[in-house]
């Protein structure tokens, strides 16, 4: 894995009562270039150990003098977003991982139909900047709670005009998906139920799955604490309720490759060898889950899990 980047918070503002935007500039040297749809992991030094949360870059990929991210305050979170909302000040330094992309636009699409819900608008901010420059054919369907999760709404209304379709309740997805010209691709960023609803409507209309692209914002969720036995090294660790299995491994000094920290990219795949497991990933097949788990999201559901580490 490449080294973390040190950045300074050069600006911060509230976009809505629950969404805070941060502008990040490099502490030394230049920031690496990135493609639309990329995210960074922000390292958050919480009391119980460092947590890494993934956030989409919302800034224009053509300009990397700074990065921007927008963070929604999560009430039920493990404290990462609360730390960013309440502790971090302009002038503070943060450590972030270099950008990685698991949600890139489809290169040969003729029309891009973007569907965002709430904070799911973030990757599309970079999409829109790039697609405007490339004069690509796109439209944005933006679902939000007015005055609460409608980040960037005013700016988008001005920039996009009739290409923006705003909704304060779930729109009729069949209307969005029906009668689309060949060459259309759909991108959904939002909670898992919305993504599944788009898939169901698309299936019914005969859309093949490779015209559908999605990114769920789905970080590690808390659960029951459990013990971890590392069979190769003979160590035993404790995974706390608010901690992911991956974080417990990192806390103990183990390096496990990872990109998404959301059970999607498959990088942190680890073999398990005992103990009941609650699989929460969307990468492994049921057959593979019998042998492997994704420690970024999945957890033990009993007292102890053994790993081939």
Partner 1 sequence: MPLQSSPVLSYRDDFSFRNSPAAIRRFPFPFIEDSYLYSVNIEPATSRDPGSVYEHAFDIDEHYRSEMAERALILDNDPRRYLVMPHMQAAAWDALQMLMENLAVDYPQWFSLVRDGDRWHWRNHLLRIDQPFIFGDAASLPCAPLEYIGRQVQGDFALLDQRDGDLYMDAGLVTSPADWSLAFDAGMSFKQWHAPVPMAHQMGVFERALKYLLNLQAGQPVRRLNWTLTINPRLDSSPETFHQWGADRGRITAQNVGQQVHLRVELQVMARLPRSNAVMFSIRTYLISLDELVSHPGWGCRLHRVLRDLPDAIADYKGMTRYRQTLVEWLSQFDPLA
Partner 2 sequence: MTHTHNRPIVVMQSATAGMAVAADLHKPLLLSGEQPDFSRRLQQALASATVGCRLYLLGDEAFVWRIHAEARAAGLEDDEISVTCTMPGLRQVYCAHCGLTQTAGPEPVLNCIGCNVGLEVRAHFSRRLGAYLGVCINPDQPYAGFQP
- Contact positions toward partner 1, by CB under 8 A? 2, 32-35, 37, 61-62, 98-101, 104, 106-108, 134, 210, 259, 265-267
Q: For residue 126, give the nearest of 187, 53, 173 by alpha carbon.
A: 187
Residue 253 binding: pick among partner 1, partner 2, none (C-beta 5-8 Å cut-off by kind):
none
Residues in the site for partner 2, rule: CB under 8 A?
A: 110, 177-184, 205-208, 210-211
Cβ 96 to partner 1, closest distance in Å? 13
Beta carbon of residue 184, minimum distance to partner 2 (angstroms, whole number): 5
Q: Answer with the entry of partner 2, partner 1, none that 178 interacts with (C-beta below 5 to 8 A by kind).
A: partner 2
Cα–Cα distance measured from residue 178 to residue 196, given in angstroms and rounded to the nearest whole number = 17
CA–CA separation, 229 vs 236, rounded Å?
5
For residue 125, the 8-state DSSP code is: H
Burial class (CB in 10 A: 0-12, 13-18, 19+), 40: buried
Pull the structure tokens for residue 267: 């990088």
- Taking the least distance from each CB to partner 1, the nearer of 34 and 142 is 34
C-beta separation of 148 from 121 below 8 A: no
Reduced to 3 states (helix: H, G, I; strand: E, B; else coil), residue 82 is helix
Min dist. Cβ of residue 215 to partner 2 (A): 21
Q: Which is nearer to partner 1, 179 or 285 (CB)?
A: 285
Q: Which does 299 bind (CB under 5 to 8 A by kind): partner 2, partner 1, none?
A: none
d(CA 192, CA 204): 18
**Closest CB to partner 1 among 33 and 241?**
33
- For partner 1, the closer CB: 33 or 276: 33
Q: What, of partner 2, partner 1, none, does residue 208 touch, CB below 5 to 8 Å by kind?
A: partner 2
Could you give the CA distance from residue 264 to residue 246 in angstroms, rounded to a whole number? Answer: 14
The residue behind tokens 């604490």 is 225
Residue 198 CB, nearest distance to partner 2 (Å)?
A: 13
Q: Which of partner 2, partner 1, none interacts with 179 (beta carbon under 5 to 8 A by kind)?
A: partner 2
- Smallest gap, in angstroms, from Cβ of residue 79 to partner 1? 28
Q: Are 187 and 105 in contact (CB under 8 A)?
A: yes
Tell me, what DSSP letter sits at residue 272? Answer: B
Q: What's the CA angle centered on 195, arms 192 and 200, to 5 degrees?
A: 125
Instruction: Choose between 14 and 178: whose C-beta lies nearer to partner 2.
Output: 178
Interacting partner of 34 out of partner 1, partner 2, none (Cβ under 5 to 8 A depending on kind): partner 1
How far is the CA of 211 from the CAs of 19, 148, 191, in angstroms?
30, 31, 19
Q: Give least dist CB 86 to partner 2, A.
A: 45
Query: To the nearest whole angstrom, how small is the minimum distance from the Cβ of residue 109 to partner 1?
Result: 9
């Amino acid at each position: 894995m490449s080294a973390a980047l040190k950045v300074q918070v050069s600006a911060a503002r509230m976009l809505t009562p629950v969404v805070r935007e941060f502008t990040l500039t490099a502490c030394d040297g230049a920031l690496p270039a990135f493609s639309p749809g990329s995210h960074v992991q922000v390292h958050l030094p919480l009391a119980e150990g460092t947590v890494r949360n993934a956030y989409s870059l919302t800034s224009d990929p053509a300009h990397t003098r700074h990065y921007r991210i927008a963070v929604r305050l999560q009430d039920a979170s493990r404290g990462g977003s609360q730390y960013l909302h309440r502790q971090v000040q302009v002038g503070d330094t943060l450590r972030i991982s270099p950008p990685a992309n698991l949600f890139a636009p489809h290169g040969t699409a003729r029309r891009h139909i973007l569907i965002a819900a709430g904070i799911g608008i973030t990757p599309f901010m970079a999409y829109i900047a790039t697609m405007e420059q490339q004069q690509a054919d796109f439209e944005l369907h933006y679902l939000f709670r007015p005055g609460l999760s409608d980040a960037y709404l005013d700016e988008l209304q001005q920039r996009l005009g009739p290409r923006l379709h705003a909704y304060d309740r779930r729109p009729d997805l069949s209307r969005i998906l029906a009668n689309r010209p060949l060459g259309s691709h759909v991108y959904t960023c939002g909670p898992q139920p919305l993504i599944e609803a788009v898939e169901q409507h698309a299936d019914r209309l005969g859309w093949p799955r490779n015209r559908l692209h999605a990114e769920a914002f789905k970080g590690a969720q808390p659960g029951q604490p459990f013990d971890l036995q590392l069979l190769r090294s003979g160590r035993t660790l404790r995974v706390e309720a608010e901690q992911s299995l991956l974080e417990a491994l990192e806390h103990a000094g183990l390096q496990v490759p990872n990109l998404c920290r959301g059970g999607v990219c498959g990088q942190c795949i680890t073999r398990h060898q005992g103990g009941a497991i609650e699989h929460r990933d969307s990468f492994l097949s049921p057959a593979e889950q019998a042998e492997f788990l994704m420690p970024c999201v999945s957890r033990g559901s009993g007292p102890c899990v053994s790993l081939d580490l």
